[in-house]
A and B are shown apart, each in its own frame.
Chain A
Amino acid sequence: MQAFATLPSQTADLLPLGNVRLRDTTQDGARALESFLAGVERKGFRIAQIALRHEADALDAVQDAMMQLAHRYASRPPQEWKPLFYRILENRIRDMQRRRIVRQRVMAWIPWHGEDDEAGDALEQAPDNAPQPAVQVESDEMMRALEQALSQLPGRQRQAFLLRNFEGLDVQETALAMKCSQGSVKTHYFRALQALRAKLGDFRP
């Protein structure tokens, strides 16, 4: 958290100058937060979905992260929101993964446990048999392979790779989001890249 203090603050520009200005500032803050959330929610969802391999859990994780950001950190300077959001999201993803492991261990001991709860809606998970263009099918297959490879990466490597490559955070922002040094970010990213290249050797999107 201490590192956040080094980021330049824009809040001084929003200091009230009068009643009208005050109202504008409040509304601007709400609009800025909404705009920020709208900008990160989809990529945040995809990152959660790749890590959790479960759509409903990914939606929950993103919603929790957005709520926590809005509730606790909305008053922080907007340039801190993105690293904060992804840090919260990653924490939620890890919580869910831990909970899932515990649940699986417990369920393994219960002979009568139903697997229907985990299976989800069969209609939703049924393959789409509608005819699709060949390019689309190929792209979907590649995406599936990429998701598979990403989900098999160690958590820190996957996080570093997706934040840098997909979300477009720079090294400093990624380090803030991952709560580690910039050197660690570079190391995690490099290792992730090596692992992905090894797994997707003939990967040609």
Chain B
Amino acid sequence: MNVEDMNEGMSEFERQVRQLLNDSVERMPAAVRSQLTQARYAALATRPFWQRSLVRHWAPAGAAAVLAVLLLVAPRGEHPAVSPIASAMPEDMELLADSDALQLGNDQDLDADFYEWAAGEAQGAAAPSLGT
């Protein structure tokens, strides 16, 4: 609302009061004006940091970026089912790579003979020999 609009609806008395009050502002002592200026700067310095800087504008974008990274890096809630074969794979690979396992394969024929003899002995023990 400008001065003309304000004055339009006013009586002469109101206009005079208004004029007197405005004059008192114009004639305000320099010391008071200076103190008011200092008070204004002090007030402006109390503005919160986020309002004074670009942080205010970049904060939502930064938060969104951090959230996106967290979603990508963090482990998912649903873990895929691991098959027993897949879980045993490392152990099998170790056995195959082991040099002792190769030796075991080479002695396989001897072990077969041993087991054949042991089986025969067991049967012989079960049926008492007539010759002795």
Which residues of chain B are near A41, meaning CB under 8 Å? Answer: 36-37, 39-40
* B57 partner, pick from A25, A71, A166, beta carbons under 8 A: A25
Cβ of A199 to closest chain B Cβ, rounded Å: 12
A23 interfacial contact with B, CB 8 Å: yes
Contacts of A205 in B (CB 8 A): 16-17, 19-20
Neighbouring B residues of A146 by C-beta, 8 Å: 17, 20-21
Name the distance in Å between B36's Cβ and chain A's nearest Cβ: 5
Given contacts A42-B28, A59-B39, contact A30 B44 (CB under 8 A): yes
Stretch of B45-53, B75-83, B85-93, B95-103 that contacts chain A? B45-53
User: How far in angstroms is the closest Cβ of chain A from B11?
Assistant: 8
What CA separation (Å) do A69 and B17 show in the bound complex? 29
A16 to B59, CA, bound (A): 13
Cβ-closest chain B residue relative to A65 = B43
Residues of A59-86 contacting chain B, CB below 8 A: 59, 62-63, 66-67, 69-71, 74-75
B54 to chain A, nearest CB (A): 6
B14 close to chain A: CB less than 8 A: yes
Which residues on the B side are within 8 Å of A70 (C-beta)?
A: 43-44, 46-47
Chain B neighbourhood of A59, CB < 8 A: 32, 35-36, 39
Q: How far is the CB of B40 from chain A (nearest CB, A)?
A: 5
A146-B20, A165-B17, A165-B21 as given contacts; A30 in contact with B39, CB under 8 Å: no
A-B contacts at CB below 8 angstroms, number:
104
Provide the main secondary structure of the chain B interface. Answer: helix
Chain A residue at minimal CB-CB distance from B43: A66
Q: Does B6 contact A (CB under 8 A)?
A: yes
Chain B residues bordering chain A, tally (CB within 8 A): 36
State in angstroms the CA–CA spacing of A62 and B3 once bound together.
24
Q: Which residue of B lies closest to A170 (CB)?
A: B1
Given the complex, which residues of A lie within 8 Å of B32, measured CB to CB?
A: 45, 55, 59
Note all chain B residues with C-beta closer than 8 A to A22: 54, 57
B residues 1-32 near A (Cβ < 8 Å) are 1, 3, 6, 10, 13-14, 16-25, 28, 32
Q: Which of A32-40, A104-112, A152-160 contacts B (4 or more CB under 8 A)?
A: A32-40
Q: Are A42 and B36 in contact (CB under 8 A)?
A: yes
On chain A, the residues within 8 Å of B39 by CB distance are 41, 59, 62-63, 66
Task: Identify which of residues 1-47 in chain A touch chain B, using a CB-to-CB cut-off of 8 Å.
Answer: 16, 22-23, 25-26, 29-30, 33-34, 37-38, 41-43, 45-46
Asked if A102 lies at the interface with its beta carbon under 8 angstroms from chain B, I say no
State the Cβ distance, B19 to closest chain A Cβ, in Å: 6
By a CB distance below 8 angstroms, the chain A residues around B46 are 67, 70-71
Residues from chain A with a CB closer than 8 A to the CB of B14 are: 165, 193
* 5 A-B pairs with the lowest CB-CB distances in the bound complex, closest first: A66-B43, A63-B39, A205-B16, A70-B43, A67-B43
